[in-house]
Amino acid sequence: MSARPDQLQDSGLHTLDPTSWDEFRRVGHEAVDAIADYLDGVRQRPVCPDIPDDVRRRFDAPAPSAAVGIDGAYREFVETVLPYPHGNIHPRFWGWVLGTGSAAGVIGEMLSAAMNNNTGFGDNAAIHLERQVIRWLRDAIGYAPEAGGILVGGCTIANIVGLAVARNQGAGVDVRQQGVSAAGPLAVYGSTETHSSNHRALELLGLGRDAFRAVGVDADYRVRVDELRARIEADVAAGIRPVAIIATAGTVNTGAFDDLDAVAEVAREFGIWLHVDGAFGALAGLAPALKHLTSGIERADSVAFDLHKWLHVPYDVGAVLVRDRRVHHDNYRMLGAYLSAFDSRLASGPINFMEHGLQMSRGFRAAKVWMTIKAYGLETLGSLIAQNVDQARYLAERVDAHPRLERLAPAPLNIVCCRYVAPGLSDEELDDLNRRIVERLHDDGVVAPSFTVLGGRFVIRAAITNHRSRYEDFDLLIDEVVRVAGDLT
Ligand SMILES: *Cc1c(COP(=O)(O)O)cnc(C)c1O
């Protein structure tokens, strides 16, 4: 007989534990088989299958008061949820910047759920594992042992955590005590290509978007360092305090890298905190041939990046590292009798992660990161990055060779931006045509690029952070764009 989570134990007490773990084992084994089939067969399915109306309606159902059991819940999930993913696990998904995930990461998620570790503090293996992962990432960035950091939900949070330290260090007042209004006018610098998550950080940190100085970029979409310096000098002359420079390692539009060494030099000259947003680019140096791109990143005061993008750890996980881990801790130290130092292994440990970021209770994200890095090794993970960059080069060449396709930006890394051009159409008509091409591609589900606007023009954008893509998939992308364009014109 199947054990129900709502049943009473012999003692008469309620618990979610079954009297027998047989159902858990059976459903668990079945789920692992289903996952293997699911990932093994992903290439044969459309990228983002449409959800049928009858399935959509099931999401309106209210919460059940009666139990259906693990088996019942599992079966409904497999029927109504599993078949309709966003599509980023698919080999021909190249939209936005989304990672593919991995089998090892799935196991990591499962095991961390079993431990259900609150990884805020304590002397437990989860804390040690996260410290180890942070050390691995620190070494990958090229930071010295004085650096530290924390895993967070993604690069948006990582940017917020890092920029808060920058603000507190640079505001000239005790922001933690007095609030940001005690400071005079503050300014933050970054290129026009700076990711919007940083603007959100400025909103949340009380600086406001007006504090941001959008510095122009060169033809390669890299920040103009002379203009950066001029903007800082002008602000200083006007009595405005510069608190941070945000450099980007891998811009979301075109994959451009700011000249980190040159920007670090400006930051040093003016004594300004340098924060690097390297959501996907920070780890490009895992591929030896790309190491030059991140040169100077180790001079930044803080670096934010994702592990769910180019490291293929399942969502969601990113990291923020701070070059001086004491400065990081000082800015997140907490007060409270229930938190004060206490010398048991349960209560204390090598690091209070809850005093390094926004979350007090926090999950065991390090498990899936550790599993991914251990299972595949940095060398393989680096080759996958190099492979994607080579695939972008291949795609760019195919675009350049095609009479009806036009590339609209350099492709220095893993992002290719292009549009279909039909003779006799104006730029506005081409914008409209290319928009409709992307819509049709998404509906058809064979290939999934995304889009952006460059120099006022709508472009089809392929951002390749996908370990399942093969070279012929990019041939198919070209064929599909041209086929759909033919249908539409
Ligand atoms: C994706 C991205 C972010 C935001 O990261 P999330 O993980 O989505 O929060 C920030 N900056 C850049 C350059 C990005 O590509």
φ, ψ at 151 (rounded to 5°): -85, 140
SS3 246: strand
Pocket residue to mutate for ligand 1, from 86, 97, 202, most atoms within 8 A of Cβ? 97
d(CA 187, CA 244): 7
Taking only the tens place, the pLDDT of each residue in 325-343 is: 999 999 999 877 676 666 7
d(CA 348, CA 352): 8
Pocket residue to mutate for ligand 1, from 198, 200, 246, 252, most atoms within 8 A of Cβ? 252
Ligand 1 site residues (CB inside 6 A) read 97, 154-156, 195, 197, 248, 250, 252, 277, 279-280, 306, 318
Per-residue confidence (pLDDT) for residue 345, from 0 to 100: 77
User: How far is ligand 1, taken at its centre, from the CA of residue 153, in Å?
Assistant: 11
SS3 277: strand
Tokens of 30: 């079945």
Per-residue confidence (pLDDT) for residue 350, from 0 to 100: 87
Per-residue confidence (pLDDT) for residue 1, from 0 to 100: 40
User: How far is ligand 1, taken at its centre, from the CA of residue 312, in Å?
Assistant: 14
d(CA 346, CA 127): 11
Specify the residue for token string 């045509």.
433
CA nearest to 418, candidates 387, 448, 455, 462:
462
Question: What count of Cα atoms within 13 Å lies in the side-chain half-sphere of residue 334?
Answer: 18
User: How far is ligand 1, taken at its centre, from the CA of residue 249, in Å?
Assistant: 11
Which residue's C-alpha comes closest to atom 12 of ligand 1? Answer: 279
Per-residue confidence (pLDDT) for residue 2, from 0 to 100: 47
Chain centroid offset of residue 2 CA: 41
Pocket residue to mutate for ligand 1, from 251, 277, 293, most atoms within 8 A of Cβ? 277
Taking only the tens place, the pLDDT of each residue in 288-313 is: 999 999 999 999 999 999 999 999 99
User: How far is ligand 1, taken at its centre, from the CA of residue 280, in Å?
Assistant: 8
Per-residue confidence (pLDDT) for residue 4, from 0 to 100: 52
d(CA 238, CA 391): 48
Q: How many CB atoms lie within 10 A of CB 237?
A: 8
User: How far is ligand 1, taken at its centre, from the CA of residue 255, in Å?
Assistant: 12
Specify the length of the chain in residues.
489
Residues of the chain with pLDDT under 50: 1-3
